[in-house]
Amino acid sequence: MKGVELRLISELMKNSRRSDRELSRVLGISQPTVSRMVKRFEKEGVVEYTAIPNLVKLGYEIIAVVFGKRNYQKHPEINLQKAENFAKEHPNIIFGAPGNGLGYDRISISIHKNYSDYDRFIKEIQDEWADIMMVDSFLINLKNENVVRPISLKHFGDDLKREKKLE
């Protein structure tokens, strides 16, 4: 990807509501060029638009990172459809994937209003997956005054620009 393309993506990550005209001024390129690039990014799926709300202001207190370790002896193959259905039934799951680390091979990240909500969720996971995998979790209190950086992609956008300058 070209430097100007990464810079445009970076600016969109910081604030996707800015006009193409404003983006063209920031980037130092023409507004029609910005419009063409944005349309291409959207068509190719390079950028998708969504809001990242302030979870605490919406009444959410917990982010749960759930780690799973599959029992390969009993279940050598994972039922991906079952996992996809479980995720669809739990829209509070914002990420789920296989991975590797700390002795685990699955991870999901979910958002919860409070501990009772998380407790119900983890019991559903255990009921559904107990025979297939061992589950542990790590909880993040979003109301903790020591949260260093709330969820946002703005800072990552800055990293994209910095990365291009290093090339």
Same domain, 67 and 122: yes
Residues 69 and 128 in one domain: yes
Query: Are residues 157 and 137 located together in one domain of the fold?
Result: no
Instruction: Please report where in the chains the tokens 């829209």 appear, as a residue.
Output: 91
Q: What is the pLDDT of residues 80-112, one digit of tens each?
A: 888 999 999 999 999 999 999 999 999 999 999
pLDDT for position 120: 97
**Within this chain, do residues 66 and 132 fall inside the same structural domain, yes or no?**
yes
> 80 and 36 in contact (C-beta within 8 Å)?
no
Q: Which domain holds residue 160?
A: 3-51+152-166
* Residue 147 included in any domain: no
CATH number at residue 44: 1.10.10.10
In the chain, the number of structural domains is 2
Contact partners, residue 34, CB within 8 Å, separation at least 6: 8, 20, 23, 24, 27
Whole-number pLDDT of residue 111: 97
Question: What does the DSSP 8-state code read for residue 4?
Answer: H
Instruction: Tell me the whole-structure pTM to 2 decimals.
Output: 0.79
Residue 110 domain-assigned? yes
Looking at the structure, do residues 69 and 103 belong to the same domain, yes or no?
A: yes
Listed as own residue / partner, the contacts of 45-52 with beta carbons closer than 8 Å and 24 or more positions apart are 46/9, 47/9, 47/12, 47/16, 49/16, 52/151, 52/152, 52/153
